[in-house]
């Protein structure tokens, strides 16, 4: 082609404009092919479908894995592979991407699935005047880290690359930090500290060529049910915490 297929940007390597059209053409063809194959067979004779879902480790651990029991028998032919995706740069090799914020690039369809609340959590005796733990500097501009900076008015003393690791540090050290309520409610000994909180919209994205794909439609409905159940459990636990007698 006489042009470099990739270029280096401030966020890392990205496809060059010279190959952007070819990539989109390939993704559209692949998506159309998968959609037609998945729609061909009758519901009771469908062949196995492999489908990759990209999401953050927290969404996987606190929403999707607990929600596996919500899948109906009509979804047994859909085999899922979960991939870690913290930043929603694009669909990449994912059939469905679950991310904080909707994708704005490429021919993708998006659907808002949830509004996740983040708050400061820690042991009952933790104070907002002490040290805290947070995510790595790459995350500093996100609302979850801004909540920590505004609450403690200083940088964290320990950092981790994802909220799962961060929660483990909090348990081991007893230091407070920011966590989503739907995840923190599953941790023993963690209580909200203060009333400050931030919200983050969670969106599902998939390629436009997969519109009408039965496997995609079933997966989107299942993900929505997973978030609804996670929100229900979080509300119940929060209510029990509020009713818990104080010493």
How do the domains of the chain map onto residue ranges?
116-200
Q: Is the pLDDT of residue 44 over 60?
A: no
Report H helices in 69-213. Answer: 143-152, 163-173, 181-184
Please, what is the average pLDDT of the chain?
Answer: 84
| Number of CB atoms found within 10 A of residue 52's CB | 16
Q: Give 183's pLDDT tier (boundaries 50, 70, 90).
A: confident
pLDDT for the residue numbered 146: 94
CA distance 9 to 18: 15
Q: Please give the model's pTM, rounded to 2 decimal places.
A: 0.74
Q: Which fold has domain 116-200?
A: D-Maltodextrin-Binding Protein; domain 2 (3.40.190)
Of residues 124 and 143, the one with the higher pLDDT is 143
Q: Which residues of 133-161 are buried (b: 16+ CB within 10 A; e: fewer)?
A: bbbeeebbebebbebbeebbeeebeebbe
Nearest Cα to 64, choosing from 237, 201, 207, 182? 182
Question: Does an H or E element contain 243, and which?
Answer: helix 214-243
pLDDT for the residue numbered 89: 66
pLDDT for the residue numbered 110: 92
3-state secondary structure at position 73: helix
Q: pLDDT digit string (tens) for 69-115?
A: 999 888 888 999 999 886 656 788 889 999 988 887 778 899 999 99
């Amino acid at each position: 082609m006489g042009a470099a297929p990739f270029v280096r940007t401030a966020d890392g390597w990205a496809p060059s404009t010279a190959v952007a059209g070819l990539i989109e053409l390939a993704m559209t063809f692949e998506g159309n092919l998968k959609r037609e194959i998945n729609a061909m067979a009758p519901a009771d004779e469908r062949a196995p479908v492999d489908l990759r879902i990209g999401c953050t480790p927290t969404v996987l651990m606190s929403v999707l894995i607990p929600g596996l029991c919500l899948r109906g028998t009509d979804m047994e032919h859909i085999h899922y592979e979960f991939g870690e995706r913290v930043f929603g740069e694009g669909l990449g090799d994912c059939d469905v991407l679950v991310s904080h914020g909707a994708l704005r690039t490429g021919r993708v369809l998006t659907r808002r699935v949830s509004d996740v609340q983040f708050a400061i959590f820690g042991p009952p005796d933790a104070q907002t005047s002490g040290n805290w733990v947070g995510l790595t500097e790459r995350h500093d501009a996100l609302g979850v880290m801004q909540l920590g900076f505004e609450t403690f008015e200083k940088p964290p003393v320990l950092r981790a690359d994802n909220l799962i690791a961060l929660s483990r540090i909090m348990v081991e050290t007893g230091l407070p930090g920011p966590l989503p309520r739907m995840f923190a409610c599953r941790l023993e000994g963690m209580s909200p500290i203060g009333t400050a909180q931030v919200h983050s919209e969670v969106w599902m994205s998939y390629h436009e060529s997969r519109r009408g794909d039965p496997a995609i439609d079933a997966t989107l409905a299942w993900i929505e049910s997973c978030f609804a159940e996670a929100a229900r459990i979080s509300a119940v636990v929060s209510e029990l915490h509020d009713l818990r007698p104080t010493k």
